[in-house]
């Protein structure tokens, strides 16, 4: 079993004390925000159009395995400035997954205000493939198109996770959440919650159009051979 990576393994993680004041230096220019939104709209619209045949195939597979369940999973997430919005995924779990979650909390494999189990018994056979390839996340392109999310940014947390946030942790909610981000391409599930927050705040402090494009490109490469998604 591989050892969990520590914050000091990442040269790009800024010191925690410095991060507390990072918000003062993260006022993006209007041009960056406008260009970021233009990239979001163009990429998400093209993605939805090109991936439409795949969406149909995935919908059929989900329904064949569990005809009673819905194709899409809708879940409230917390976005910029702590505003909630409905985030969409392809359903990868049994239809009563949320009801079963309370019985699995003791088996959480991620530290801090997150919940993940590598061999989650609620995941369907189709869902395991969708998660392995990250196809289950593709409906979030709709969230990007309508402005709830961006292609790149901190992942949007659940309301009950945010309830456990410190004021320091809440700094990751000062920007629009993303489908992928700095944390995902550098560490994914190999670090705990505190390290994830530091990576997200590093991105917020450093973000630029070039960095966003690099993260999008690296995410595409990761999707071809991901082994850490669950």
146-159 per-position pLDDT tens digit: 999 999 999 999 99
Q: What is the mean pLDDT of the chain?
A: 81
Rounded to an integer, what distance in angstroms lies between the CA atom of residue 72 and that of residue 138? 11
pLDDT in the model for residue 58:
97
pLDDT at 166 > cutoff 50: yes
**Tell me: the pLDDT tens digits for 100-136?**
666 666 455 455 555 666 667 778 899 989 988 889 9
Confidence of residue 89 (pLDDT cuts 50, 70, 90): very high
89: which strand partners?
73
Q: What is the 3-state composition of the chain as percent helix, strand, coil, each rounded to the nearest 5?
A: 55, 10, 35
Q: Percentage of the chain with pLDDT > 70?
A: 73
Yes or no: say if 51 and 104 are a contact pair by the CB < 8 Å rule: no
Indicate yes or no: pTM above 0.85.
Answer: no
Torsion of CA 77, 113, 90, 102, to 10 degrees: -110
């Amino acid at each position: 079993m591989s050892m969990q990576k520590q914050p000091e393994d990442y040269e790009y993680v800024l010191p925690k004390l410095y991060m507390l004041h990072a918000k003062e230096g993260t006022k993006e220019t209007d041009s960056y925000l406008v260009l970021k939104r233009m990239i979001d709209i163009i990429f998400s619209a093209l993605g939805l159009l090109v991936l439409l045949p795949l969406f149909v195939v995935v919908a059929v597979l989900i329904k064949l395995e569990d005809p009673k369940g819905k194709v899409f999973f809708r879940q409230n997430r917390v976005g910029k400035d702590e505003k909630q919005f409905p985030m969409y995924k392809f359903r990868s779990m049994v239809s009563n997954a949320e009801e079963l979650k309370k019985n699995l909390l003791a088996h959480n494999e991620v530290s801090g205000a997150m919940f993940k189990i590598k061999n989650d018994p609620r995941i369907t056979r189709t869902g395991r493939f969708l998660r392995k390839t990250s196809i289950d996340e593709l409906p979030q392109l709709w969230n990007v198109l309508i402005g709830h999310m961006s292609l790149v940014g901190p992942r949007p947390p659940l309301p009950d996770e945010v309830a456990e946030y410190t004021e320091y942790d809440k700094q990751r909610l000062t920007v629009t959440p993303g489908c992928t981000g700095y944390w995902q391409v550098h560490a994914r599930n190999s670090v705990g919650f505190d390290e994830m927050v530091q990576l997200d705040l590093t991105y917020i402090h450093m973000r630029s159009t070039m960095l966003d494009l690099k993260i999008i490109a690296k995410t595409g490469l990761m999707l071809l051979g991901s082994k850490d998604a669950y």
